[in-house]
Amino acid sequence: MIKIGKVSNTFAYFVRKGKHPKNIEKMLKKIKFKADELNTDVFRAGNKKYIFIGIGSKKGDILRKAIAKALSIEGKITYIPNDLDIEEQIRLVVEGAVLYSLKFDEFKAKRDKKRYVLGLMVDRKFKRFINKVKVIAESQNYARRLAGLPPNIGTPEYMVKEARELAKKLGLSIKVFDKKALKRKGMNAILSVNAGSDKGAFIVHLTYKPEKPRIKVAIAGKGITFDAGGLDVKPARYMFNMHLDKTGACVALGVIRAVALLKMPVEVHVVIGLTENVIGSKAYKPNSIIKAYNGKTIEILHTDAEGRLVLADVLSYISKDIKPNYTFDFATLTGAMSISLGKYAIGAFSNDKCLSELAKKIGEKAGEKAWPFPMWEEYNEMLKSDFADVKNIGSWNGDAGSITAAKFLEHFVKGKWLHFDIASMMIAEKHPYYRTGPIAPGVRLLVNMLEVLENGCR
């Protein structure tokens, strides 16, 4: 819970290197406090308690980490801003507090009932801004919670139900295409991935349309609710956490949630493809050739390159049936992202330089870094098939794996498009404010991008 004003006699103050107000300076000298990063100490003055946390000379993410640490000490605190930029402090502190508040314990017999309340000693003129930041961070938490649902619960059917409930709550329109509808429309790529599963396959289309939208955007999401790799089955260690392969779809739902709650002047279409990729007697096979919704044929070399097949139909549907100004997609698409960027950034792949640069710029500020990759025509050579229009992998040894996956998706896109490969940032381990659990990166990044794109890419 975030409130303006004092909510507790426990005050949090972040100590940077430099001068501070006289009353704070006096307390710091008494306890000989050093402003080293995340160094923590407590000072008591009568019935008041001050939690001092060092932030060194840094700005940005350190404030999110610091507020999470303060809340871990005491769940109800009042934050006193220092003399850094107030609005920036508010954004970072509220984000850190909201993200830290999500506990992944809903399936435990004994749940942690600790509540977190953050008071902000700031002017009430910031109330609207605080609410915006809170809504966006809560929408990321919404996506994180969905992404973390175990595969026996977070099934394709469950995700459809969740999308329907979200649509009802926010007044969104919704279309759901089940197996029969997908077959009628010729969406054979997602149906092929689904063939080995006893669960359903769905494409879900949600729409938020304000009275006078400035632009129309579409957001595609990969929703593989469990990925065993298909007949090209994954080794056990790589199958662990593959319930998180639906994260792209969860992020897309989180974005439309934030946009609708904030009543942004942007028409948003979210289209998510939902299925499992498992082994069964009817599972699709290597060397199969399938036709996607846009008519292009795909030669299957590897059944564990399935997310791009689902997105082939989803992106084709967006291009053919929606025709937006901008198309975005989120997908835990390639393990190669961990090699390229580690756990610190999202891969950004685009056919439009302005979108790539905007993602990089906004991502830095939003705390969800996005790094643009080249999309040169030469990479298409690696996807050429002797028997179909395109192969579903570029090479057997993973050469340019993330780039060739993006180039594959490009075959099913029309117009300006940006693909976010979030595979290396699926999960955090003992993170200061994400704890241990799903991250669902990209919600804050894209919502902030849409604010800029209302007036065109620049």
Q: Which residues are catalytic?
A: 234, 308
Residues 156, 202 contacting (CB under 8 angstroms): yes
Secondary structure of the chain as H, E, C letters:
CEEECCCCCEEEEEEECCCCCHHHHHHHHHCCCCCCCCCEEEEEECCEEEEEEEEECCCCHHHHHHHHHHHHHCCEEEECCCCCCHHHHHHHHHHHHHHHHCCCCCCCCCCCCCCCEEEECCCHHHHHHHHHHHHHHHHHHHHHHHHCCCCCCCCHHHHHHHHHHHHHHHCCEEEEECHHHHHHHCCHHHHHHHCCCCCCCEEEEEEECCCCCCEEEEEEEEEEEEECCCCCCCCHHHHCCHHHHHHHHHHHHHHHHHHHHCCCCEEEEEEEEEEEECCCCCCCCCCCEEECCCCCEEECCCCCCCHHHHHHHHHHHHHHHHCCCEEEEEECCCCHHHHHHCCCCEEEEECCHHHHHHHHHHHHHHCCCEEECCCCHHHHHHHCCCCCCEECCCCCCCCCHHHHHHHHHHCCCCCEEEEEECHHHCEEEEECCCEEEECCCCHHHHHHHHHHHCCCCC
Q: Are strands 326-331 and 297-299 parallel, antiparallel or unpaired?
A: unpaired
CA Rg value for the chain:
23
Residue matched to tokens 């919502």: 447
Structure tokens at 362: 């906004």
Cross-strand pairs, 417: 327
Residues 450, 264 contacting (CB under 8 angstroms): yes
Distance CA 372, CA 360 (A): 7
**Sign of the C-alpha dihedral computed for residues 387, 391, 393 and 397 taken in this order:** positive
